[in-house]
Every structure is written in C-alpha cells, then in structure tokens.
A and B are shown apart, each in its own frame.
Chain A
Amino acid sequence: MIEFDRVVKYYGTHRALDGVTFTVPDGCVTVLIGPSGCGKSTSLKLVNRLLEPDDGYVRVDGRPVKSFAVEELRRGIGYVIQSAGLLPHMTVQDNIGLVPRLLGRDKTWRRTRALDLLELIGLDPHSYARKYPSQLSGGEAQRVGVARALAANPPVLLMDEPFGAVDPLNRETLQNEFISLQRKLKKTVIFVTHDLDEAVRVADRIVLMQDGLVIQEAAPEELLGHPSNAFAREFVGTDRALKRLGRFSVSDYMSQDTSRVESEDHTSVPASATLREALSRILAVPSDQIPVRDAQNRILGSISLEAIRRAGYGGAST
C-alpha cells in the first residue's frame, strides 16, 4: 500500500502539491488524472524519491520512503515514463536487464529474464533482444520500457503517461495488453494519464487532481456516476454515462435466454465486450436487443437496451 499524507511540494515559490492525500491499495491500478500541470508527475516522483516533499509523508507499506536507502527503494519500484527512457547505447536486452544488473544478477540470469519478458510483452525475443532503442517503433519502445520496469519483479510500478506518445490505435492495443498483464501480475500500480478514456479502461481506482489538490478519489464507476463537484463534472464530460458503460461487461448483464434472439439479424456482440459497445450496436439496428456470441461465434444469449439502461441508470441520473 502506498499512502500520500498531506503532501506539499514547492518548485521555488510555486506550490505544485498543496496537501495531497490519497491511498493506493495493493494489487490494483490507481490512476492519477487531471489537467496538465496539476501535479501528477510530481506526485509520482515523490514515491521513488526523484523528488522530496516539503511537508507531509509518502509511505510504502506503512514506512516513510525517506527511511529507505534511495537506490534500494528505486530498484524495488518499477518506473515507466512517456518517452520510454531506454538507454540508447544499450541493447534491448541490456536495457531490460539493467535493474537486475544493478542488483548483482549474473549475465545468464539477466539474459533469460530479458527473453522471458520480451515473450511476455509480445515481442519476438530472438529478433528484438539485440536491437537498439533507435531501431524500435514507439509502441515497441514502450513495451520494452514496461519489460524493464518488471525485470527485477518489483511489487510496485510507477507509470507516467506510459502510452502517451503512442498513436491512438496502438495505444488501445497497449492498454489491453497492460490490462491482461496486470490481471496476471497483480502489481501495485500508480498510472498517470490525462486521457479519461484510458483511465476508465485501466483503473481500479481513480484519483482526480486539480492544481495540486485531490478533488475526488473513487472507483471509476463512482467518479463517472457521481462526480463530486463542478470541476469533476466538467472533467468527466457530458458523455460520462456512456463512458461509465465502458466499465461494465456484456457477460454480466446479458440474458441467457436464446429463444428471443432473432436469428436472421446479423448484428451481434461478443460476451467480452463492454455495455458501451453493445449499446452502440443496438442503436444501429431496429430491434432493442441483439444476440451475444462467444469467441467461437456461438450464440450465448442476448443483451437488451433495457438491461443496459438499468446498468447505466446510477450514472445517468445525477
């Protein structure tokens, strides 16, 4: 668990953080979101002590970060930044093996680990291990950045707009890969973004910030359903009810009854899709329900406009 406790940070006379308090529970993704300059990156750097607070405490597992030897602390926390931050004079393999090397792991161990991680992040180990960062695409570099952060198997990951420099299409792929990776690894993640759709997609919890203050700390459904003030309401936008539907899975709201499905209708939705997608598809057909299919294209049941409305109601009403 990571706690921010009334943290204050100045840059000269500029008060970048104005008494920030929030909690990051173990094993889930906490997204820091807010407009540019609100103090997201600053908060992140206070965790691995690239910055020191002027007041208040940052604690990891109840221990103030100040009480750790700084290099030790950092080697135990994975750090991923927007431009990937790979060292250009080292191969992909050496970049991934960096923290293990600092921790004294031998060459064979590091190589095996790098190849395993490349596999894990979906890059062919044997063609990528010896490449240099300049030979990678933006998306590949970001993947390698994630692999490097994971190399020493740290329990905590700090990610500062990790997919910010990637084009929208690739970004979504990376987000999905990250989500399934996180499902396996269950790291304690602080994820900074200013993209609300990204936050809604990856977050277990969202901390909304403005001008160095925490405005709201909540589950994504809660933030979208009940933004706590005018700023939060404006930030989540007028389509927040739709965004909120993106948090719910069709499989949880479908009816198993296959008898009502019109078989001549070609429109259907996979069970793994979100209610937002289901709604979009229903709106494109004359009927108010469509079949739900599994990955093998077998019909599992149906999803109705009514069910989607019921799921979304909590969010749409405020």
Chain B
Amino acid sequence: MKARSSLIVVTFIVLFLVFGSFVFSVSFRATILRVLFPATRELIYLRTGLPHMLGEHLSLVLLSSVLASLAGFSLGVFVTRSCGRDFLPLVRGLSNFAQTFPPVAILALAFPVLGFGFRPTVAALFAFGILPVLNNTIEGIESVDAGLIEAAQGQGMTPSQVLLQTELPLAARVIVAGIRTSVIINIGTATIGATIGAGGLGTVIIAGLVRNNTAFVFTGAVTAAGVALATDWLFSRLEQVFFNPQDGGRSGHDSTRHSS
C-alpha cells in the first residue's frame, strides 16, 4: 500500500517536471518534437511563446469558470427555494435544451454581439460553463431526503439555516462535481476562442491546422490536455480532503477530523 502510493507520487513528480519543461523550456520541447515529428522542419511556433498562450488560456478559463460557477450555483439555489420553485421546470427545460448547443455555436452567436477577442470568448465559455454547475446544484439539492429537511425544520432551523447547514453540506459533493465538469469542459472549449482572436492555446493549434503542421497542433493539444488533467487531479484531491469517507463522504466542512 505504502510502496504503491509513493510510486504514484514519484510518477506525478516526473510527469509534472516533464510537462513543466515542455512548456517552459524551448530546447526541451524542440528535442521532444524532433523525436516525434522528424519530418517537420518548423517545430517551434515563434509568433507567441507557449507560456504566454498558456497564461491567456488559464485566464480565459479562470474568469469564465468562476463567473459560471457563481451564476449556476446561485440560479440553482434560487429555483430550489420556495420563492423560486415556480421557475424550476422552466430552468430545467432551458438548461437541458441549451446543453444540446455546441460551444462553437455559442461563440458564433456571441461574437457579432460582443465583437472579437477576449470578452466574447469569456462570455461564450461562461454561458456554456453555467449548465453543469446549474444542473448539479439543482440535482444535489433535490436529492437531499425530504424527510431530513423536514426534520431540520422541525428542530427549528430557519430557511437559511436549512440551506446552509443541511442542504448545501449534503449537496456539496454533487455541486463540486458539477464545477469540476464545467472547468474541464471549459479548458477544452477555450481553444476555439483563438478563432476569434482571444489567444490561448488554440492559437498554436489553429496555426498548425492552417499550415498543416502537426507539431504545432500537438504542442497546443498536449498542453491543454495537461492543464485539464492537472485540474482534474486537483479537484479529486480537493474532494478527498473535504469530503472524508467517514460520514459517507458528505461532509462539506471541518475536515480536521481523524480518519480511521
């Protein structure tokens, strides 16, 4: 058990170092690409540095995901309150419908309104990122046993105490899973922002597609995939820390308890 987990840690460290060197060291990247694509002459995209594109990419994702998570969560909480419950079927229907939209379509719709560049891309990613968070917030809260909520009310909790101390802690795991999905999808989708000049890792991918340069496409794709994997891993660590298995993994706070 111990040997296995330390093996995993070593693997992670190695992967992390390789990925870091690939992004930040041009010569290391060139060496790897030369091995993989011996026939390609132009291995390194020179117009923009990879770290710079990565930075743009991360800020696109970070901004849109934070906004989308806040919006999806708030809307999900609102439609599960007694005052907002009338809107629940409408919101559910709309979000199911919207999920069938491809992100490119949203981008295509956003840019005539908001123009080219960073802002319309963030807007499109935001719109697309809301849905998983919204759906999971609704499902997470709706799946809390009605009898349990009644018991909490019966003890004298106010509606906001029921929300904060019963519904949200019990739904937290599902809600966080929604945020995780949203962020991971956004990391991939953000690459198409480059088509309307938002920058990011899509820049090198599109350049590669235009010039028929697989090394470029590979560079962008591998970096985006690395970011997605790292983010996913980060979320899984977060879940392990915050949702300890003792209470069926439903505790959303106070992770300092001993785990046996």
Contacts and interface: CB of A to CB of B under 8 A. Distances in A.
What is the interface of chain B mostly: helix, strand, loop, or mixed? helix
A74 B155 contact: yes
Interface in B128-178: 147-148, 150-158, 161, 165-166, 169-170
Contacts of B170: 88-89
Nearest to B150: A50
Contacts of B246: 132, 134-135
Given A87-B148, A88-B247, A132-B247, A48 B252 contact: no
A134 B156 contact: no
Contact of B247 (A48, A89, A99): A89
Contacts of A197: none
Interface residues on A, range: 20 to 34
Contacts of A85: 147-148, 150-152, 154
A50 B169 CA distance: 22
B228 to A, nearest CB: 30
Interface string A115-145: 0000000000000001011110000000000
B153 A99 contact: no
Interface string A81-98: 101011111000000001
A89 B156 contact: no
Nearest to B161: A102
A88 B250 contact: yes
B150 A89 contact: no
A173 to B, nearest CB: 23
Contacts of A134: 246-248
B153 A74 contact: yes
A24 B56 CA distance: 70
Interface residues of B, number: 23
Contacts of A148: 155
B251 interface: yes
B251 A89 contact: yes
Given A87-B166, A88-B247, A89-B169, A102 B152 contact: no
Q: Identify the interface centre among A85, A133, A134: most chain B CB within 10 Å of its CB.
A: A85
Q: Which 9 A-B pairs have the closest CB atoms?
A: A85-B151, A75-B156, A74-B156, A79-B154, A132-B247, A89-B251, A89-B169, A71-B156, A89-B250
Given A74-B155, A88-B250, A132-B248, 17 more contacts: A50-B150, A71-B157, A72-B156, A74-B156, A75-B155, A79-B155, A85-B147, A85-B148, A85-B150, A85-B152, A87-B148, A87-B152, A102-B156, A102-B157, A130-B257, A134-B247, A148-B155
Interface of B: 147-148, 150-158, 161, 165-166, 169-170, 246-248, 250-252, 257
19 contacts: A48-B154, A50-B153, A50-B154, A71-B157, A75-B155, A81-B147, A83-B147, A85-B147, A85-B152, A87-B151, A88-B248, A99-B156, A102-B155, A102-B157, A102-B161, A132-B247, A134-B248, A135-B246, A148-B155
Interface of A: 48, 50, 71-76, 79, 81, 83, 85-89, 98-99, 102, 130, 132-135, 148, 158
